Amino acid sequence: MINIALDAFGGDHSPTEPVKGAILAVKEYPISVTLVGDESQIRDLLNQYSEYPKEKISIVHASEVVGMAESPSKSFRQKKDSSIQVGLNLVRDKKCHGFVSAGNTGAVLAASTLVLGRSPHVERPGLAAVIPSLKSHFILLDVGSNVDCKPIHLIQFALMGTRFSKAIMGIENPKIGLLNIGEERDKGNQLTLETHQLFETLNLNFIGNVESREILMGVADVVVCDGFMGNGLIKFGEGITSIFTSFFKEEAKHSLMSLLGLMLLKPAFKRFRKKFDYDEYGGAHLLGVNGVSVVAHGRARDVAIKNAIRIAYKASEERIVDKISSSISDNLQFQAK
Amino acid sequence: MINIALDAFGGDHSPTEPVKGAILAVKEYPISVTLVGDESQIRDLLNQYSEYPKEKISIVHASEVVGMAESPSKSFRQKKDSSIQVGLNLVRDKKCHGFVSAGNTGAVLAASTLVLGRSPHVERPGLAAVIPSLKSHFILLDVGSNVDCKPIHLIQFALMGTRFSKAIMGIENPKIGLLNIGEERDKGNQLTLETHQLFETLNLNFIGNVESREILMGVADVVVCDGFMGNGLIKFGEGITSIFTSFFKEEAKHSLMSLLGLMLLKPAFKRFRKKFDYDEYGGAHLLGVNGVSVVAHGRARDVAIKNAIRIAYKASEERIVDKISSSISDNLQFQAK
């Protein structure tokens, strides 16, 4: 049975929400979960629940916690017994199949690369987010692991994203798009211009440049960009959602008509959130390391944690690490170009 | 009286909407407008309206039109009598105070720099958009004029944006933010790390890094970034708005409750659009060239065109070109660093 290590002390609502998320996950999926963190606190929390398959949840003690604002490199050196490192060690030592954390993203990314190591020939691991679109979903990467990229990194992101899309989203032949500021091949900055040229020499399902305006319509299944852009877009999306919410909360206070309208639209808003809230899709998966590592949003609550566990479970079951590794190796001749 | 040259043949709805926008503008502001483009077509359109001060609108003929997808450099060389070049020539020759176009953005930017020339010591002109925030508005630049930037460009964008914010938005001491993927000073890509360090050596009202998540809350008055990022964010915002609209249109078809709710919320949505639709704020102003040049959205209709004319009028009245020029000169000692 697939066993996922979950950082019980990562995220704004830890350890409560991770523990609740683990319980939801073992009820729903044919997996077991190893909770990593202060054993007595975790046990106290677990004791509050009775209706779950107890044999499917175990605890591995970790005495330290990495704070949300701590330096990734410093915390890695100084907190060897943190829930992040202990959890990743379990994956490295094949005691667990994958790791999930809603903790300090930078710390999880750094520790994942350092503990698990990069897959052979992978230049840079890429953080892949599953983003909802009008049609269905697409993979956006990198969303914050590599802020300065070279064309070869973006090409490898495309290869890794394609494998991920096939394995996790079940898409037969994913369409790859290069995030750019214009559709024409001569549009873009130096990085995207060079990357576009490189894509054209390769035998991939590359559909060309895609603009940020259209990615949410579902024009591509795998959208590649550098981590500065990807991270900026995701956070801008959060910003728009939050001003939208603020605006309509104020409206409801000042207009009875708006209040009534909002009440009637409540189910529609709920459906909208369910469809477009990317948290719901389980966070971001670090591709290109020797093991499954999934980062959930710091604000993740039980359902989002459960969904992150689902991604790690699916990635483990589908042997995504092996598939990515062979995809990168198979394409080495192109990458030499 | 301030006279603005308006490209009557730029944009998806030209020449009708530009002509209507010009009429709205001369009715509302103490300015005159020179419509540039095919004289007989413009005259035919103007003849459909009677209720406006006719002495405030004139026509300068231009026989060519630059298409929305044409190459900026090629169209500049081959279409010397385009409405874009003829309009910009009027500004260069001091016959008009400023130029406004909803046409091919790349072509307007290239022609503005080539016809008007860069202001002394300006390394790269920057395209500044006025973006609505929860508090009020802020200036985002660059939004597409320079896709590959160096730190000095971002510093100059900050200087120019500050001047613009003071003159056009009436903000006394604008707060400058550096768009980045984390608030800490050690976060970012090479460009933002170096720019942050440079900012710290300067005597500007620099508040540090700002994240795309928070800019719409109004944390800074001037937000600087490279044009790849700025353009990507603006277009992503458009994308989010459009999926939101699509979703709720579908909802209204399938649920009577949602339809009723949307009807009740119509005034609130209208207020939201009025507050947050950045088109309403008149497009983007190219800062750092020897003349006022404003680019409206290709989809701009009469009101958006009128607002773009307003920006050009205010910028002319406030002598923004001179102010930017002296601000850049005053800060030359810093920029040598």
Residues belonging to chain B: 337
Predicted pLDDT at A268: 86
Could you tell me the pLDDT band of residue B337, with boundaries at 50, 70 and 90? very low
pTM of the model: 0.92
Predicted pLDDT at A335: 55
Predicted pLDDT at B333: 64
For residues B237-246, average pLDDT: 85
Distance between CA atoms of residues A126 and A289, nearest Å: 9
- Contact yes or no for B139/B165 (Cβ under 8 A): yes
Contacts of B322 (CB under 8 A, 6+ apart): none
Quick check: do B1-122+288-319 and B124-279 share a fold? yes
Report the first-to-last Cα separation within chain B, whole angstroms.
42
List, in sequence order, the alpha helices (H) in chain A.
16-28, 39-46, 72-78, 83-92, 105-116, 151-164, 190-200, 212-215, 227-254, 256-276, 302-317, 320-330, 332-335
CB contact under 8 A, B189 and A228: yes
Chain A residues touching B245 at Cβ < 8 A = none
- Strand B292-295 and strand B284-287: pairing? antiparallel
- Contact yes or no for A192/A180 (Cβ under 8 A): yes
Chain A residues touching B237 at Cβ < 8 A = 236, 240
CB contact under 8 A, A229 and B231: no
**DSSP output for B244-272:** HHHHHHHHHHH-HHHHHHHHHHHHHHHHH
B142-151, B165-174, B234-243: range with lowest mean pLDDT: B234-243
Write down the domain spans for chain B: 1-122+288-319, 124-279
CB contact under 8 A, B275 and A247: yes
Could you tell me the pLDDT band of residue B252, with boundaries at 50, 70 and 90? confident
CB contact under 8 A, B276 and A212: no
Q: Considering only CA atoms, which of A193, A232, A239 is closest in space to residue A212? A: A232
Q: How far is B232 from chain A (nearest CA, A)?
A: 6
Best of B71, B213, B217, B272 to mutate (most A CBs within 10 Å, chain A): B213
- Contact yes or no for B271/B285 (Cβ under 8 A): no
What does the block give as tokens for A194?
């060079």
Predicted pLDDT at B278: 62
Predicted pLDDT at B279: 62
Chain B residues touching A189 at Cβ < 8 A = 147-148, 226, 228
Helix (H/G/I), strand (E/B), else coil: B186: coil
Predicted pLDDT at B157: 97
Indicate if the pLDDT at residue B336 is higher than 60. Answer: no
Predicted pLDDT at A217: 92
Query: What architecture (CATH level 2) is domain B124-279?
Result: 3-Layer(aba) Sandwich (3.40)
Predicted pLDDT at A185: 86
Best of A233, A241, A274 to mutate (most B CBs within 10 Å, chain B): A233
CATH fold group of domain A131-278: Isopropylmalate Dehydrogenase (3.40.718)
Indicate if the pLDDT at residue B32 is higher than 70. Answer: yes
Indicate if the pLDDT at residue B319 is higher than 50. Answer: yes
pLDDT in tens, chain A (337 residues): 999 999 999 999 999 999 999 999 999 999 999 999 999 999 999 999 988 999 999 999 999 999 988 999 999 999 999 999 999 999 999 999 999 999 999 999 999 999 999 999 999 999 999 998 888 899 999 999 999 999 999 999 999 999 999 998 899 999 999 999 988 888 899 999 999 999 999 989 999 999 999 999 999 999 999 999 999 999 998 888 888 888 888 888 888 888 998 889 888 888 887 777 766 667 899 999 999 999 998 888 999 999 999 999 999 999 999 999 999 988 876 555 4
Residue tagged 């008509």 (tokens)? A257
Count contacts between A and B (CB, < 8 Å): 161
For residues B206-224, average pLDDT: 96
B147-180 pLDDT, tens digit per residue, is 999 999 999 999 999 999 999 889 999 999 999 9
B53-79 pLDDT, tens digit per residue, is 999 999 999 999 999 889 999 999 999
For residues B301-322, average pLDDT: 94
Chain B residues touching A275 at Cβ < 8 A = 247
Predicted pLDDT at A251: 85
In the chain, the amino acid numbered A243 is: I
CB contact under 8 A, B147 and A188: yes
CATH code for the part of the protein at B1-122+288-319: 3.40.718.10
CB contact under 8 A, B212 and A236: yes
The whole-chain average pLDDT of chain B stands at: 92
